[in-house]
Amino acid sequence: MPKYDEANNVKIEAGQICDPENFPPPNELVCVEVQKIFDQVALRDCVVRTVTLIPGSGVINPMFTFEGADSFDIVEVRVVSKTDSLVKPGFKKLKLFVKIRYNIYYSDSINHLTQVDEAAFNLTINEIYCPSCLTQIGVIRYPEDQNNTIDPDGLLIKIEALAEAFNDSVNPASGLLSLDIGVFFVVKCACNVQLLIPSYGYCPVPPEQTVNSSTQNCHTFNDRKKTPFPTQFFPEQKFNPLDKFKKDYERDDD
């Protein structure tokens, strides 16, 4: 269940804070390992693709019509070059290669078909703050998400994209399709770091949803009075004895 701070009449749970001034001080300071975004750059790019559409099996005289493009997906990210700034420590100039795969939907007058195509983008980031993450060296890394690429010095370059196809034209007889692929990119430079952050403790266990009792089995287990929903979803918090020692010491001085 959500936590309540009775003194401030505030329910503490995940979500947007409307009145932050009403919240009490945090319960603890915690050290967490997170992927910190040091800097990010937004840019756009557009390429023109020319694709020859393929008719369905057995169609002799197709008449092609373009129906749209969708299912855009980043399938490759590669750091082509990385140049350190001579005047701003930690800043770099990046050249990136990004490949986006998508589906083309069309008709040959008989069949509704799908054809896969790819668009390649060469991006230049003139200036982005990307400090070296030397602590990453020697760490065992599991396969990264396909939208990321890790540099030898531990930098994690993340790519986010929103793509759209437009300005399309197709030759109905030959199936020669021309279209523009425009993409909005956000390039992020990140490192895995440890941060000390204030915390209100573990996230509360959410309320249990209502279940139709007529379809329940295991009556004892499903009886919420006999078997309440457990709250032990998290380990016990480490206790800092110095806090108690400090309070006892201050009490003795009084």
pLDDT digits (tens, 9 = 90+) for 42-61: 999 999 999 999 999 988 89
245 pLDDT more than 80: no
What is the reported pLDDT for 137? Answer: 40
Same domain for 143 and 161?
Answer: yes
What sections of the chain are H helices per DSSP? Answer: 219-222, 241-253
Average pLDDT, the chain: 82
CB atoms within 10 A of CB 189: 25
| 213 in any annotated domain | no
Strand order, beta sheet including 176-199: 28-52, 176-199, 156-170, 148-150
Mean pLDDT over 81-90 rounds to 91
What sections of 182-230 are H helices per DSSP? Answer: 219-222
Mean pLDDT over 207-224 rounds to 71
Same domain for 41 and 16?
Answer: no
> What is the percent of the chain where pLDDT is above 70?
79
Give the domain extent around 246.
3-27+200-208+221-253
What is the reported pLDDT for 73? Answer: 94
Mean pLDDT over 182-200 rounds to 91
What is the reported pLDDT for 214? Answer: 56
Same domain for 244 and 163?
Answer: no
- Residue 212 banded pLDDT, cuts 50, 70, 90: low
Same domain for 227 and 125?
Answer: no
Tokens of 84: 């350190």
| 64 in any annotated domain | yes
pTM, two decimal places: 0.73
What is the reported pLDDT for 187? Answer: 93
Tokens of 250: 């201050």
Cα angle: 63, vertex 69, 75; to 5 degrees? 130
